[in-house]
Copies of this chain bind each other. A is one copy, B any other.
Amino acid sequence: MDVKTTCLGVLAMGEATGYEIRKHFEDGPFSHFAEGGFGSIYPALNRLTADGLVECTEQAQDKRPDKKVYRLNDRGFSALLQSLERAPAEDRYKSDLLFMLFFADHIPPTRLAALIDDRIAFYRDKLAQMAECRQDDAAPFGPAFVHGFGACVYQAALDYLERHRAALIDRVARAQAADAAE
């Protein structure tokens, strides 16, 4: 599922600029499972336009760069539906924090605490933010299902960190103290 396809997905929810698509990847309902920076979004939109899957209207703005508003057309919507027929690739998860915590035994306990606390705060924020945006009843079921999945997984991650934080820090502190004493 490349950036072109995820852009089609965002545009299926309504017209948007490249800048707005980026925001959807960061904050919106796509943020839990899609990604993409400007460096991939803008070329993708150019390509989609050239391939005739989206249409672009330039809107001049006072004291701002021109907006390029992209809109999905019928061929674009078909392309999106086709992408839903292919077998999904495996999920991909990458976490610097978990890599670091794997080597927790080599990290000072105070830093360990700071790292975990930051992530706890992050998950709390995320969950609070997600709790706010409840859907209206007429909404389609897909987005609600995916939203619920994201919330559920974030909650599990948060709970785990809160439940095991103290034990990890305590054990590492003891081990390091014993090691220093030799």
Main secondary structure of the interface of A (DSSP, over half): helix
- Asked if A95 lies at the interface with its beta carbon under 8 angstroms from chain B, I say yes
Q: Are the C-beta atoms of A103 and B9 separated by less than 8 Å?
A: yes
Copies in the complex: 2
Contact count band on A: 35 or more
Given A94-B33, A101-B146, A175-B141 contact (CB < 8 Å):
yes
Q: Are the C-beta atoms of A99 and B6 separated by less than 8 Å?
A: yes
Q: Are the C-beta atoms of A145 and B164 separated by less than 8 Å?
A: yes
Contact of A88 among B29, B35, B97 (CB under 8 A): B97
Identify the A interface with B (CB < 8 A): 1, 5-6, 9, 12, 29-30, 32-35, 80-81, 84, 88-89, 91-107, 115, 140-143, 145-146, 148-150, 152-153, 155-157, 159-161, 164, 168, 171-172, 175
